[in-house]
Amino acid sequence: MDNCNLINLIKNKYLSNNKEDVLMHVENVAELAVGLANAYNLDVSKTKLAALLHDISGVMTPQEMYGFAKMRSLEIDPAEEKYHALLHQRVSKIIAQEEYGIIDSDILNAIECHTTLRKNASVYDKVIFIADKISWDQKGVPLYDDLIKSATVESLNESCYLYINYQFDNNLLVMPHQWILEAYEDLQKHR
């Protein structure tokens, strides 16, 4: 299937599930991610697909995501056990594979860790992670916006570190996922 048809199928999934707001968010993430992909010499098509698919599980409720994960015998982090919505990154990866035939590991890995990042994250992982954070899907502008936008131009590592550090400094991670703890430690080593 060509990319154009695949993109239309992805967009239709959001629209047919009345998730216009999620579609708007993923399109904003895709626009930012493509800009970063160009800056970091990444494959733009892969980056755009990862961005458009990163929240594809948003068509499900958190409880449905939890059931989906349990049905597939996924190991569930304590943070995911308490906050089922955290599973959306991992469930989105599975949907990308099963429903859209995505096999490219750069795309799948970036989808899978776009909320928490992870240790030894690739440049694709970091691009989708940061584009997602910059493309705030809530009302107003996030307080960390200027902090990570300015760092992104200079260094994806620094931008990722500053975002996670901001979360910890402001006690915004009530129950951190193991991956974000490992990513934070890994990013600290490379500062």
Residue 45: give the domain boundaries: 3-140
Domain count, the chain: 1
155 pLDDT higher than 90: no
pLDDT score, position 144: 66
Which residues, 6 or more positions from 89, have their beta carbon under 8 angstroms from its beta carbon?
Answer: 54, 111, 112, 113, 114, 115, 116
Q: What is the mean pLDDT of the chain?
A: 92
pLDDT score, position 139: 67
Nearest to 50 by CA among 13, 7, 1: 7
* Measured distance CA(160)–CA(188) in Å, rounded: 10
pLDDT tens across 20-73, in order?
999 999 999 999 999 999 999 999 999 999 999 999 999 999 999 999 999 999
Domain-located, residue 176: no
CATH code for position 23? 1.10.3210.10
140 pLDDT higher than 80: no
pLDDT score, position 151: 59
Domain-located, residue 178: no
Domain-located, residue 11: yes
* Measured distance CA(50)–CA(44) in Å, rounded: 10
- Cα distances from 16 to residues 54, 87, 132, 158, in angstroms, run 17, 22, 23, 38
Mean pLDDT to the nearest integer, 83-95: 98
pLDDT score, position 145: 65
pLDDT tens across 118-136, in order?
999 999 999 999 999 988 7
pLDDT score, position 102: 97
